[in-house]
Structure 1
Amino acid sequence: MRSLRGVCGALAAAVAVTVLAGCGISVPTDPRGTLDRITGGELRAGVSPSDGLAVATGVGEDAEVSGPLPSVIEEFGADREATVTWTVGSEEDLVDLLERGELDLAIGGMTDATPWSERVSVTRGYPDLPGADGRRVVVFVPLGENAMQSAVETYLDREVK
């Protein structure tokens, strides 16, 4: 009985993919078009300062952001031909901005044990990020922006060793 369920499940998945492909829908998608908008445009990134990962001095448009994690995001932006603009805030403030569509991603000392996973999408954890010290550091993206999350994870998988 179990093997029949497995075969039926695989068949249903194959049919769904075929139907979606026939409709011209690509998977993963971004309902808000985040990945398409940032490519060749502006990547709106939020940062919550965290020892060893991200440093921010100043506030608003005058804020200066540095550290290993912002550097990785700057490189991701360059890979997408996007200019990165930074917003500095607490994790809660950044989550609110992601929910309102005012940020495209957020970084800081957040890990895969984050309590924010019901309000934002969370990438896989990356313990090998410079400054992570073995913590499984994640990047937040808006809920449902699956193409954006996939692009961030693909970049981190390739670049973080």
Structure 2
Amino acid sequence: MTRNFGVIMFLIFDLILIFVTVHVLVIPSEPVPPRSLARRSVVPSPLLPILLPPPSPSLLPSQTIVCSHIANMTNLRQLSPPEWCNEGDRPADQALCESFYVGHTGENVVHRCLHEASSGSCLLSSEAIECARGAPSSPLPHNSLP
């Protein structure tokens, strides 16, 4: 009797395993479209992750500091006539040079003017700084950055 009970349990276990395999793994829960339709329409798969756009980069601490000082600087492109960093007395005076920036109306990206002592130049920085509120619309008093 014990031997028969073990055989019966083994057969029941096999039947359950076959049932689960056939109904869960083999038979799809949704009908599969014919091959001709599968090529024409794209059905999103619940197994594929949804790709979200990357989060917008926040300002770096150094950019936040620079942006707060930009409000006290003069945009050379809004002078009349517009100027560039290496014009006037700016190449000879570091404090004067670094109190200016170049920004374009309607854009949030600015470039600081940086003094280069070795060449005696006031150069446009290659680093683009994005300030949330953008560049001021009119020239403001000069103030050098820390």
Which TM class, normalised by the smaller chain length? under 0.3
By relative contact order (CA 8 Å, sep 6+), the higher-ranking structure is 1
Structure in which a larger fraction of residues adopt helix: 1
Larger Rg: 2
TM-score, normalised via structure 2 length = 0.28
